[in-house]
Amino acid sequence: MTTTTYLLCIFVGSLSVFIMCGNLLLISSIIYFKQLRTPTNFLILSLAVADLLVGVFVLPFSTMLSVSSCWYLQDVLCKVRSSFDIFLCTASIFNLCFISVDRYYAVCQPLRYRAKINVCVIMIMILLSWTVPALNGIVITILGVNQEQSNRTCVLFQHIRFAMIGIGLGFYLPAIVMSTIYLKILIVARRQVSSIQNTTHQSTKSGAAVSKMERKATKTLAVVMGVFLICWTPFFLCMTFNPLTNYTIPVPVIAAFKWLGWSNSMLNPLVYAFFYSRFRSAFRMIISGKIFQVADAAVFAADGIKK
């Protein structure tokens, strides 16, 4: 094994560990603490499961493809990796999209939120987040993916028609929906803050507090969309324009952008959990082992979850 191979294994191993630890922490928090079992958090739980499986299955298979010298196994590994890759990454993106829908009703239609977004609706969202990507992955892998080995690479999306369908359904459609929804959320949130300031004639101190809340909401939305777009846009743009340019984009460049996209599964727990004090309290209790102490768990239920 060369030095590059060792470095690749170390990098992939570290990324897989971070992905698994972060998402296991998030999953454990929602499962263990009853106060966190809300409809919105069920969507976050579904997202964490998808991201966890990316770290468990997709990254190890990709590493095996990169370092394997068993050519008779690479075709099988390529097919397996492609199926899991398309399925799980699309499931993660779909969960992000449905979380944005949930946030839209919570911010823009708060009075109708409980009626519109109930457990049944959340379960339907979760079901769609898994079934549509599963069908997408199966169809693309079987009908549209050329798994022939060329220069020791696993070549995907050789057929432009299937490539455009898969990329459009798996990235562009969710990205457009998320961008539109979060822009609407930002506009409504600012309008609500302005309305509160005008109708209540708040003091300078109260106005500063509201302004701080507005900046925090704006920052959170910017991070949510920014992380998603930064991680996935370069790869999908390459996959879109590569066939149109007669495949002139170097394979290492596409591979690097793909790794950047997979890193989104590591960042999602930070974006959707560490921004909220109730999750931070749960994480601290799990990491410190205080969940095994009944008294501390009671304190969390009484105080930490209400922060």
Give the pLDDT confidence of 234-255 residue by residue, as tens digits: 999 998 888 888 878 888 888 8
Q: How long a stretch of residues is the chain?
A: 307
pLDDT tens, residue by residue, 248-277: 888 888 888 988 999 999 998 888 766 777
* Domains of the chain, first to last: 3-275 (1.20.1070.10)
Which residue intervals of 33-110 are DSSP H helices? 39-53, 59-67, 71-108
pTM of the entire predicted model: 0.85
Q: Tell me the β-bridge partners of 150.
A: 153
pLDDT tens, residue by residue, 51-74: 999 999 888 877 777 666 555 566
Q: Rounded distance, CA 94 to CA 179, Å? A: 13
Q: Rounded distance, CA 106 to CA 122, Å? A: 13
